[in-house]
Structure 1
Amino acid sequence: MPTPPGLHARRAALRLLDAVLRRGETLDQAFSAATSDVRKPEDRALARAIGTEVLRWLVDLDALIDSATAKTLPHDAKARTVLRIMLAQWLRLDTPPHAVIATGLPLLAGGPRRLAHGVFSTLTKRPASLPAAPTLPEQVAERWGERAATIAAGLAEPPPLDLTLRDPAETAHWTNQLGADSLAPGHLRLPRGAAVETLAGFAEGAWWVQDLAASLPVRLLGPGEGRHALDLCAAPGGKTLQLAAAGWQVTALDISKRRLDLVKQNCKRTGLGASTIRADALKWEPKHRFDAILLDAPCTATGTCRRHPEVLHRIGARQFEEMAELQTALLARAAEWLKPGGVLVYAVCSLEREEGEEQASQVTLDPLPVLAEELPQGLAPSAEGWLRTDPAMLDDVGGLDGFFIARWRKG
């Protein structure tokens, strides 16, 4: 019997989900191995899309499966994962049921194909549906409390593609050239699904991919005018590029050689310069003090759940404790390396108070509150002068990642 078209993509999606849900890998970590035998770029993209939608709607997909089975399938049963894949294609990717069955049941060769067929057929005959917003895992909803329902509403759709321009003065030009929207000078927003390398401006380094929220920390440092800035934990380099484009003399430090190589590649493509240093920030000592330090600290990255929904299922209390301890130590180091009058910006792409507000409240430098006029329209600082974003904000224009940002000046 010939292999159904698209089966390779579904097998890759199955491997991808197994790596995330059973081994605790991220989508990015698992993707290369999961798609190693998938030749067509469009099939690799489909495998990623299926995996992402399953993880985004996992709680709701499981509820549908459980509603159509007399005996509950184990959470890690292969038949359950295949049914998740089948339902995500039908309910989220608009794949016709006959195509879902043709490419789903072969994944259970030698297994309970009749069971999967029966469950899927039952749900298509009802017909089944998903809620307006994904249901969060119980522990996540408890952790986010009153914010949970609002944040969940921002997770219903994958995010658009955001670009940061090397020269903000060219915003109007590139908005027209790429048919993009812009929410701030130097920012472009395109519909998701664009092949980045094929877009005008990529080869000449006119822009780089960066979520709007991720661009805000550097915007709060203003023009460099030749002064010295340290980008701690710099990889993959979007903020390093921003600093260099804004006229800062940048030192980009990261502990990972592989990730630091990405910084160098991005600098080469855009023609922007930075001094790169591979070192552990907890052991490294600079030769001079800095006018500005950006600490985009390692974190649980729960704020990226729009594009990385696996964080909803693989991050727990142990990771929060480990990251908070590291963040406290990095903040203390960064404060030592500022010149008098120097500015420190702390940022995390996390929705957790332990990594945001609780960290900021411990800093003893002079607060330098974020001002509303420094932010894109629709965003506002907190009473403390900090900035907290979440995926439901700016939802009428495509949303943004969850970030916490705070700023201080050294007296």
Structure 2
Amino acid sequence: MDIPGLPARRAALNLIDAVLRRGETLDQAASSALSRVRGEPDRALARAIAGEVLRWRADLDELIDSATRLPLADDAKARAVLEIMLAQVLRLETPAHAVIATGLPLLAGGPRRLAHGVFSTLTRRGIFLPNVPTLPDAPYERWGDRAEAIAKGLALPPPLDIALRDAAQTESWAEKLGGTSLMPGHVRLERGTPVTELAGFGEGAWWVQDLAASLPARLLGTGGEGLSALDLCAAPGGKTMQLAAAGWDVTALDIAGRRLERLRANLERTNLAAEVVQADALKWEPEAPFDAILLDAPCTATGTCRRHPEVLHRIGPRQIDEMAEIQTKLLSRAAEWLAPGGVLVYAVCSLEEAEGEAQARALEGLQPEAITQAELPDGLAPTDEGWLRTDPGMLAGQGGLDGFFIARWRKV
């Protein structure tokens, strides 16, 4: 007979293993890892446990190591089980007896007495985690002077940001949904209520989009009669909907058919229009140049670490180099497709210089157009070069935002 709650803990263990051993994202691992977990609450619990372990792993491991005479191997199953047990007590406020009942069975045939002893020793001490997660060594070294500020943005899962179809209704929707707004067209809500149950979802009044992710499309301004915009790498459609709502005649291009299905569904729900094209941007050629191009390029997505903490563990130099090579090619092609006077915005949800600043410095043939303070929400500022770099630690007192790099050029 299954112990209540055990399948969710076993699924959490499998999710963590998929990230650390196979380099998968939590979304990629979810289908297999959660296949035997019944009910959405338990599936959400498994995801929450895995997320908290990956967010706080360095600190959880320090606690574990302080209570063992001989260190456990980094990939030892007993270590992973103890991480799961401690994360529940320290982050999810699960009673210790429930943690023991659903944790130790994960080590059937293994060192259950060792795990029980370590857990009991630690909980008797009155242990706690620091206010800010300790970053793994690799990203800490890559992010340099920014690392500590970034870490401050990872202590809590992020709130829910939505982008409004009609920015003029910002105050009304903020009041109706009980949220706050950091700039016109944006409302921030506390986590908890399922998105589809919120007012305005069914009528397509808004879509989910992190505040930072909404900035690139805003920096293209408003469209008008006959003005064309290309949204490269467009799925699942947040920026396409922004551009369409701003009056652009939008072409939305992406290589991924299944993600384009979501884009089409989002357009239908919001009653917005765009020409949807499934193609490889490195091979596709437009029939005519565009007045505006938004390239939200494929990237390592390290800037989403507050909502996807697995990127702290699965991204390294190889992945960064691979993405940077693709970004350089896409940026070069996008620059060729601009009409005279047209504007190009490049963006990545990455914290890596190779994917952001290095790409902007290398682009030739277009006139840089500086991002201005007036275009940004309070608390953010452009760099001296006229670019924008956001980090998860920014606006921390208001719920933070994802890490992005954004730059803009005009064809003269």
**Partner Cα separation in structure 1 for residue 83 and residue 94 of structure 2:** 13
User: How far is 1:362 from its partner?
Assistant: 1.3
Q: What is the correspondence of 1:55-74 to structure 2 with a 5 Å cutoff? A: 55-74=54-73
5+ long unaligned stretches in structure 1: none
User: How far is 1:400 from its partner?
Assistant: 0.2
> Which residue number in structure 2 is paired with residue 288 of structure 1?
288
**Partner Cα separation in structure 1 for residue 60 and residue 371 of structure 2:** 41
> Which residue number in structure 2 is paired with residue 79 of structure 1?
78
> Which residue number in structure 1 is paired with residue 361 of structure 2?
361
Q: What is the correspondence of 1:300-315 to structure 2 with a 5 Å cutoff? A: 300-315=300-315
User: How far is 1:4 from its partner?
Assistant: 3.2
- The residue type paired with residue 217 of structure 1 is P
**Partner Cα separation in structure 2 for residue 28 and residue 237 of structure 1:** 18
User: How far is 1:99 from its partner?
Assistant: 1.2
Q: What is the correspondence of 1:9-408 to structure 2 with a 5 Å cutoff? A: 9-226=8-225, 227-364=227-364, 365-408=366-409
5+ long unaligned stretches in structure 2: none
- Does the residue aligned with 2:82 lie in a helix, a strand or coil? helix
User: How far is 1:3 from its partner?
Assistant: 3.3
**Partner Cα separation in structure 2 for residue 332 and residue 366 of structure 1:** 14
**Partner Cα separation in structure 1 for residue 121 and residue 190 of structure 2:** 35
| Identity of matched residues, % | 71
- The residue type paired with residue 272 of structure 1 is L
- Does the residue aligned with 1:163 lie in a helix, a strand or coil? strand
CA displacement, residues 208-249 of structure 1 (integer Å, 9 cap, x when unaligned): 111000000011111111310000011111101111111111
- Does the residue aligned with 1:361 lie in a helix, a strand or coil? helix
Q: Is structure 2 residue 3 aligned with structure 1 residue 4?
A: yes
User: How far is 1:255 from its partner?
Assistant: 0.9
CA displacement, residues 238-269 of structure 1 (integer Å, 9 cap, x when unaligned): 10111111111110111111111111111111
User: How far is 1:16 from its partner?
Assistant: 1.0
**Partner Cα separation in structure 2 for residue 5 and residue 164 of structure 1:** 39
**Partner Cα separation in structure 2 for residue 50 and residue 116 of structure 1:** 18
Matched length: 410
User: How far is 1:103 from its partner?
Assistant: 1.1
**Partner Cα separation in structure 1 for residue 180 and residue 41 of structure 2:** 26
- The residue type paired with residue 298 of structure 1 is P
User: How far is 1:90 from its partner?
Assistant: 0.5
**Partner Cα separation in structure 2 for residue 115 and residue 277 of structure 1:** 57
- Does the residue aligned with 1:47 lie in a helix, a strand or coil? helix
**Partner Cα separation in structure 1 for residue 273 and residue 35 of structure 2:** 35
**Partner Cα separation in structure 1 for residue 184 and residue 4 of structure 2:** 45
User: How far is 1:140 from its partner?
Assistant: 1.1
RMSD: 1.0
**Partner Cα separation in structure 2 for residue 102 and residue 139 of structure 1:** 35
**Partner Cα separation in structure 2 for residue 33 and residue 239 of structure 1:** 31
- The residue type paired with residue 245 of structure 2 is A
User: How far is 1:60 from its partner?
Assistant: 0.8
Answer with 194-203 or 307-316: which moved more.
194-203
**Partner Cα separation in structure 2 for residue 180 and residue 42 of structure 1:** 25
User: How far is 1:378 from its partner?
Assistant: 0.6
User: How far is 1:32 from its partner?
Assistant: 2.1
- Does the residue aligned with 1:189 lie in a helix, a strand or coil? strand
User: How far is 1:9 from its partner?
Assistant: 1.4
- Does the residue aligned with 1:308 lie in a helix, a strand or coil? coil
User: How far is 1:122 from its partner?
Assistant: 0.6
**Partner Cα separation in structure 2 for residue 241 and residue 180 of structure 1:** 21
User: How far is 1:194 from its partner?
Assistant: 2.2
**Partner Cα separation in structure 2 for residue 225 and residue 34 of structure 1:** 48
- The residue type paired with residue 28 of structure 1 is D
Q: Which aligned segments of 4 or more residues in structure 1 are displaced greater than 3 angstroms? A: none
User: How far is 1:56 from its partner?
Assistant: 0.3
User: How far is 1:403 from its partner?
Assistant: 0.2
User: How far is 1:19 from its partner?
Assistant: 1.1
CA displacement, residues 270-329 of structure 1 (integer Å, 9 cap, x when unaligned): 111111111111111000100000000011111000000110100011111111111111
TM-score, normalising length from structure 2? 0.98
